Amino acid sequence: MIKRNLLVMGLAVMLSACGFQLRGTGTNELSIKELDVTARNAYGETVKQLRNTLENSGVKLYSGAPYHLVLLNEREDQRAASYTGGSRTAEYELTTAVDYAVKGLNDATLLQDKIEVNKVYVRDGNNVIGSSQEATKVRKEMRNELVQRLVVRLQQLSPSRLDELQRKADLRAKAEAEALDAARRAQDATPQQSPMQIPAN
């Protein structure tokens, strides 16, 4: 009995050290407390669900916040994964993906990445309506997972990490501005070729 209790306690400690939490037992707080969230598909289910999740996590969402999360591009794809002999039943692989960017001061892009979720469902050619309902259910589950993964990515952005990303973005912007200025000065210093004179007859 004692050994079993020790084993359970040991597993609990190991899982908590990895950042694992059971649903409903607490949430990992985000370092970002203020955020502007926009999406190319401004009225899509993904951005609405993401906004609700962030607000429920205590994040204040408003335009002009110090950090800006942009959902750049959402995609839903489907491809046949396998067929039965009669081609009536088939497995389909569904993919839901989103490209996103986090922007900081001066609209500088701090990071840009993408999240992709894949699942396989069985489509029964003899039950098209049931298969369509199953695909809709799977798509909803995939969107939930996509949003949760995105929130986990945001949880990993500590203040020190954000400061480092902002510093790198500022250095990039400064280097680009200096290169542009140098190119402009070089162009101004280059003598302009006179138009060709055509001798009169």
CA 156 to mean position of chain CA atoms: 13
> What is the per-residue pLDDT for 198?
62
Could you say which residues of the chain have pLDDT below 70?
A: 1-28, 84-89, 124-130, 193-201
DSSP assignment of 33-54:
-EEEEEESSTT-HHHHHHHHHH
38: CB partners within 8 A, 6+ apart: 47, 68, 69, 70, 71
Give me the chain's average pLDDT, please.
Answer: 81
> What is the per-residue pLDDT for 8?
44
> What is the per-residue pLDDT for 15?
45
Q: How far apart are CA 157 and CA 151, in angstroms?
A: 10
166: CB partners within 8 A, 6+ apart: 104, 105, 108, 110
65: CB partners within 8 A, 6+ apart: 34, 35, 36
Q: Are 48 and 20 spatial neighbours (Cβ–Cβ below 8 Å)? A: no
Kindly list the domain boundaries of the chain, sorted by start residue. 28-173
Instruction: Return the CATH class of domain 28-173.
Output: alpha beta
pTM exceeding 0.75 = no
Beta-bridged to residue 90, according to DSSP, are 83, 123
Q: Are 54 and 65 spatial neighbours (Cβ–Cβ below 8 Å)? A: no
Query: Which residue has 């695909």 as its token pair?
Result: 135
Q: How far apart are CA 117 and CA 58, in angstroms?
A: 26
Structure tokens given for 184: 């402009």
